[in-house]
Amino acid sequence: MRAFFNKKKKLIAMLLLLITAAGIFAFNESDKYFQIAKNLDIFAAFYRELNTYYVDELPPEKVMRKGIEAMLEETDPFTDFISEENLDDLKFMATGKYGGVGASIYTNGEWTSITDVYEGSPMDKAGVKPGDIIVSMDGKSVKNAPQDDISKQLKGAAGTPLDMVFRNPVTGVETPKKIIREEINVKAVSYTGIIKNDIGYIKMSQFTENSGSMVRKAFEQLKQTNPGIKGLVLDLRGNPGGLLDEAVVVANIFVDKNKLIVSTKGKVKNWDRNYETAEQPADTHIPLAVLTNHSSASASEIVAGSIQDLDRGLVIGQRSYGKGLVQTTRQLPYNTKLKVTTAKYYTPSGRCIQAIDYSHRNDDGSVDYVPDSLRKSFITHNGRAVKDGGGIEPDAKVDPTIVSQVAITLIRKQFIFDYATSYYYNHDKIAPATTFALTDSEFADFEHYLDNKDYSYKTRSEEVLDSFKSTAKKEKYYDAIAKELETVETKMKHDKKQDLLKNKTEIKRLLEEEIINRYYLQKGRIAKSLAWDSEVNTAVDILHDPLKYKQLLTVSK
């Protein structure tokens, strides 16, 4: 019976693939046309017979959805079927807008708490604070409610009311509040400021509608209020991308008019296109550093790749994600859509930075990264060598910050979050975000707060040792080396108190950022983090050293 269902699933998937292909492309070859017509007939007959004679009812929508999902397994993860109920998610990806209350939540045990409140949002206007606990929504208790269900209920059309009851996390006092949903516009530019007195900094979180003009405006305001500015850091770390057109607009801020930024090439040749800058730039001379990490993808990589290829600035940080694929939405019946990869994009030097080859799958269906041996070299405007097939490699590499296991555990178990909440209700105000610092006595108070709290964890070394022991037992080596392993395990046992002190600087920073978030929201958190951010500090040092900046732009990597 299971074999029958597997065959059915594969057949439906294959036939749906043929149907979709027939709707998008016109095949001239008579053989292909015959194969499509033949398999459409088989599909119709197969489903008619199955639906008529199968012993139980088979919901048509469910069966077809299974077929679509199986078919999508053969594509890249960015090609997807968008149902009518998920169209709002697609809209948000393009516009950065949604109807809601403007807050982030986290469910821990029975209750859900507010973790972040967006400045100027309905929650902010209602006086809701991070740490507040949601008790009920529209008269219904949300105790033990799944986080996804609460998140969906918080969203809704702008102008619609939501009656909520919040519990103060310290006093336990419950307060009713009427929240009026609004159109929430998640800002593409989450922070703008000055570092070390003369270096501009812009944090860009996504590429949505008009985000390019927002970045230009932020940059021009920085220059106007700081005429002595000597360089700019454009932070694209963690930016998953978005609209390709907006990437071109962002690059245009720093690149002359009529310069090629990106080109797209796919199966449908009349869709191939070159994207060039269309406006006069804001500044083509200011030293520029673009920050990337492994989560910088798509449109972020277009900006970073074009700036690098044109030698307009430096890329600093870690290699980017490597998403060189372009998606287009196609309208389907009944208000559904197909988001389909239609092309690959290429930077000005001609390289495609797609890191994973989805067109060639292993026997088990898995996919691999493009091997270094197959990566080709290209040349930038100044003659530097750059490679395709693996994201944007930085001109100045900075190792990522590794968070300690004790810090990860304190974050995951909400102890840093809960302490920050308690601190907020015991301190009416604090120093400005950039100067606020916990004292040693306050850190000692945090240590005392952790007494009798379970934040046990395994170090990475202990995890590796456990894995080794498990393998040794399977391969029957364990008995021979058991005593030696016990000795190693004893020496590796860690003292939680000592680990706190060993990682005091890191934990103190995390505490400070979380506390600052209570008073100054996200902008304050970012402002505080810049002081110890290794990628930012590296970028600032290079921008302050014209000779090194010039060398990195002219010497081949």
Which of 548, 267, 224, 190 has the alpha carbon at shortest distance from 396? Answer: 548
Catalytic residues: 298, 309, 323
The reported pLDDT for the residue numbered 499 is 84
Q: Hey, is 319 helix, strand or coil? A: coil
As a dihedral over the C-alpha atoms of residue 56, residue 57, residue 58, residue 60, rounded to 10 degrees, the angle is 170
- Higher pLDDT, residue 541 or 480: 541
As a dihedral over the C-alpha atoms of residue 403, residue 404, residue 409, residue 412, rounded to 10 degrees, the angle is 0
Tokens for 224?
A: 């106007």
The reported pLDDT for the residue numbered 105 is 95
DSSP string covering 327-343? EEEEEETTTEEEEEEEE
Least confident of 281-295, 489-503, 506-520: 489-503
Instruction: Provide the angle, in degrees to the nearest 10, between the axes of the packed helices 244-252 and 211-225.
Output: 20
Cβ-based neighbours of 60, under 8 Å, separated by 6 or more: 51
pLDDT band at residue 34, thresholds of 50, 70 and 90? confident
Which of 167, 94, 114 has the alpha carbon at shortest distance from 136? Answer: 167
Across the strands, what pairs with 279?
none
How far is residue 469 from each of residues 118, 420, 464, measured CA to CA in Å? 48, 39, 9
Tokens for 110?
A: 């029975």
Residue 526 has pLDDT above 90, yes or no: yes
Least confident of 62-66, 128-132, 462-466: 462-466
Handedness of CA 365, 369, 371, 374 (dihedral sign): positive
* Model confidence pLDDT, tens digit, residues 338-347: 999 999 999 9
Least confident of 49-53, 290-294, 306-310: 49-53
Averaging pLDDT over each range in 246-255, 446-455, 487-496, which range is the top one?
246-255
Least confident of 180-189, 388-397, 464-473: 464-473
The reported pLDDT for the residue numbered 27 is 46
Residue 167 has pLDDT above 90, yes or no: yes
- Kind of pairing between the strands at 314-317 and 288-292: parallel
The reported pLDDT for the residue numbered 22 is 47
How far is residue 510 from each of residues 170, 415, 447, 506, measured CA to CA in Å? 21, 11, 14, 6
Least confident of 44-53, 87-96, 107-116, 325-334: 87-96
Which of 326, 338, 339 has the alpha carbon at shortest distance from 264? Answer: 326
The reported pLDDT for the residue numbered 337 is 92
The reported pLDDT for the residue numbered 537 is 97
The helix/strand count (H/E) of the chain reads as 18, 23
Residue 459 has pLDDT above 90, yes or no: no
- Kind of pairing between the strands at 231-235 and 288-292: parallel
Proportion of the chain above pLDDT 70, given as a percent? 93
Q: Within a 10 A sphere around the Cβ of 241, how many other Cβ atoms?
A: 22
- Higher pLDDT, residue 135 or 73: 135
As a dihedral over the C-alpha atoms of residue 293, residue 295, residue 299, residue 304, rounded to 10 degrees, the angle is 10
Residue 177 has pLDDT above 90, yes or no: yes
Least confident of 303-312, 392-401, 453-462, 505-514: 453-462
Mean pLDDT confidence for 428-452: 94
Mean pLDDT confidence for 490-516: 86
Which of 411, 312, 291, 305 has the alpha carbon at shortest distance from 348? Answer: 305
The reported pLDDT for the residue numbered 28 is 52
Which of 408, 448, 419 has the alpha carbon at shortest distance from 131? Answer: 419
The reported pLDDT for the residue numbered 475 is 85
Least confident of 46-50, 366-370, 458-462: 458-462
The reported pLDDT for the residue numbered 1 is 40
DSSP string covering 194-231? EETTTEEEEEE--B-TTHHHHHHHHHHHHHHH-TT--E
Least confident of 18-32, 95-109, 519-533: 18-32
User: What's the chain's average pLDDT?
Assistant: 89
Residue 194 has pLDDT above 90, yes or no: yes
